[in-house]
Amino acid sequence: MAGVGAIVFYEALLFATHVFLGLLAGYHVPTPAIEGGHNASSWFARPWALPWIVGLGALLGAVLVYRFAPDAEGHGTDAAISAVHHNPRGIRFRTVIVKIVASALTIGSGGSGGREGPTGQISAGFASLLARELDLSPNDARTAVVTGIGSGIGAIFGAPLGGAVLATEILYRDDFDGTALLPCFIASIVGYVIFASVVGFTPLFGFNGYHFANPVNLPWFALIGVLGGFIGLIYAKGFYGIAAVFERFGGPRWIRPAVGGVLVGCIALVIPEVLGTGYGWIQQGLGPRLLTLPLWIVLIVPFARIVATGLSIGSGGSGGIFGPGMVIGAFTGAAVWRLFEPIVPSMGHNPAPFVIIGMMCCFGGISRAPLAVMVMVAEMTGSLSILAPAMIAVGLSWFIVRRSDDTIYRSQLKNRADAPVQRLLTGMPVLSNVAVRLAMSAPRLVLADGDTGAAARHAIEQANVPGVPVVDEAGRFVGTVSAGDFESPEARQKSLASLADKSAPSVPDTATLDVALDALLTAPSHWVSVLDDDRRVIGTISTSDVVRGYRLGLQASLRQLNGTADSSGMDQVEVAQDSPLVGQAIRESGLPLSIIVTTIERARDLVVPNGDTVLAASDQLLLIGEQADIDAFRTLASHVSANADEQ
């Protein structure tokens, strides 16, 4: 699926580039080796038209996005990362189609963007569709979406190993998801073979036969690494700074990309290197053609690309930010070579290693995926032997970026321990020992997909429930609806088949509570449906049901502890509205040493507490410890201050 999606997007992008820049603007951008390695046009046939053409493509893409799929806005990789962490089943298939067309229009007309973001979101969307159709568990759905990201990016860049590693490394700033690596390997090579069978098996930038044999160049590579780290930080801050300016821009959101496109077209009249993906300009920098570019162009392109990418994608346009990051890094390395090669003969007459290492260290650091980007760029340039000297440059770049705690992908978590489900499951290991069927509740209401919105709204109000499962004629689960789905008069006239949220997760009755909690964290509401083997709704499970099941599991565990005294027990204590504990951290609450606070149920959410957790009114604390101490703490939790007693 990722391979086919990459082919469709690749061909759509080539066609859009030919129409907008080739036919309308009369300008041909340079191409990388896999596309023939053609040179750029010497001039603009219709320079007056270029800003309007870039703006027109951005406008058409923006109208398409904001009319049909607002979640296709911006650089798709961040959206795909967010889906992995929060809702892997929720990427709509409509988003995939819109992303293909909108990105082709934006980049093909000259907007500064890369191929990887759209392709990553496209393949992640296919994976999300697969997760819904096969009713995968939340954990398997996450693996599917990660695999989709890796296989799509690996295919479009002709870098299957790098794409697979990137998908598992890019999720976190300082961590790595090793569990998805093997599925990513398999899917990435399949996607790559399908894509390359149509486009070609030549590396994107051809074979650059560099062999590391001159250690005296290591200091220059280190310099590129340092510059790449700082320029990467400028890239992230500049991109999101421009995006923030557009957020304050008045008027309809779909106008913003058009404004950004016009400005990019104006910049391109002076610096054409900012147009499109820029991969052809990287190709020029890898060989002697680099010397034909004016030095001031080589020096200014990294910063011009940062501005152009912010105007094209930060304004709300559709495209990737990996590709521009490679162009920025490539010209950073090229600038070092151009500046010092005339006075340092030992640098050699081949700029390729400096350009390649520049690509690696600039985006490898700011993306917080140094290993993956190194491997990808090595595959794209056919220069695996350059990995040895590249390690010092990428390592320095990553160190500089890591000290700033910044990243180009804002959806990344710091590490796996920061994932919501991981935090809760680590704090409540007993959940894996309790079956869902022991904690679930009977469904209070189930609606048929043939019912109208008006009838469903009335039934939900009568049952006093926030939402209900929807089933088809055979009684099989279709999705869920909530009371808020029927606010508009149009929705009340529709059938539930069109209103039901088909991405809503469900839980098999054979699962355990850790699976149910994982599903609850990805659900749009605080409950999920429980299904039997025939996908019939036999119950629902909510946050309070998980707490009750957790209590049952703890009670069973306590009974199994041979050393537990008869006076030990477990109970739930509620913090009263006027309790002196409200607003205090647990460590300051006077909690007896014998008591452990295992969980806190707060406003239908579960909280795994620590000593710094601040207590709030109506918190339900699940306690384990000496029963006498639990009773004493209960008195404290419900105690009214002296002034309130006197009143």
Q: Please state the φ and ψ torsions of residue 31, each to the nearest 5 degrees.
A: -125, 155
Same domain, 541 and 635: no
State mean pLDDT over 95-120: 92
265: left (phi over 0), alpha (psi -120 to 50) or beta: alpha
**Other C-beta atoms lying within 10 Å of the C-beta of residue 556:** 12
Residue 324's closest CA among 369, 366, 288, 294?
366
Can you tell me the distance from the alpha carbon of 34 to that of 135, in angstroms, rounded to the nearest whole number? Answer: 39
Which of 138-142, 195-199, 236-240, 358-362 shows the lowest per-residue confidence on average (mean pLDDT)? 138-142
Same domain, 150 and 212: yes
Same domain, 365 and 484: no
Classify residue 414: in a domain, yes or no.
no
Torsion (CA) 601, 505, 118, 411 in degrees, nearest 10? 10
Classify residue 552: in a domain, yes or no.
no
643 pLDDT exceeds 70? Answer: no
For 63, residues 6+ apart whose C-beta sits below 8 A from its C-beta are 254
Residue 558, pLDDT score: 65
Same domain, 370 and 297: yes
H helices of 474-620, where? Answer: 489-493, 496-499, 513-522, 543-560
458 pLDDT exceeds 50? Answer: yes
Same domain, 338 and 456: no
What's the CATH code of the domain at 437? 3.10.580.10
pLDDT digits (tens, 9 = 90+) for 3-28: 999 999 999 999 999 999 999 999 99
State mean pLDDT over 496-512: 88
564 pLDDT exceeds 50? Answer: no
Residue 637's closest CA among 629, 610, 554, 625?
629
Same domain, 570 and 501: no
Tell me which residue range forms the domain holding 449.
426-513+529-546
For 90, residues 6+ apart whose C-beta sits below 8 A from its C-beta are 83, 128, 503, 522
**DSSP notation for 44-78:** -SSGGGHHHHHHHHHHHHHHHHHHH-GGG-B-HHH
Same domain, 74 and 149: yes
Classify residue 102: in a domain, yes or no.
yes
Same domain, 596 and 535: no
Amino acid in the structure at residue 21: L
What's the CATH code of the domain at 571? 3.30.70.1450
Classify residue 411: in a domain, yes or no.
no
- pLDDT band of residue 647 (cuts 50, 70, 90) is very low
- What is the total residue count of the chain? 647
Same domain, 492 and 622: no
Mean pLDDT of the residues in the chain: 89
Residue 627, pLDDT score: 79
Classify residue 523: in a domain, yes or no.
no
Residue 559, pLDDT score: 61
State mean pLDDT over 42-53: 93
pLDDT digits (tens, 9 = 90+) for 325-382: 999 999 999 999 999 999 998 898 889 999 999 999 999 999 999 999 999 999 999 9
111 pLDDT exceeds 90? Answer: yes
Same domain, 64 and 170: yes
State mean pLDDT over 515-543: 88
Of 430 and 183, which is predicted with more confidence?
183
Can you tell me the distance from the alpha carbon of 305 to that of 231, in angstroms, rounded to the nearest whole number? Answer: 11
Domain tally for the chain? 3
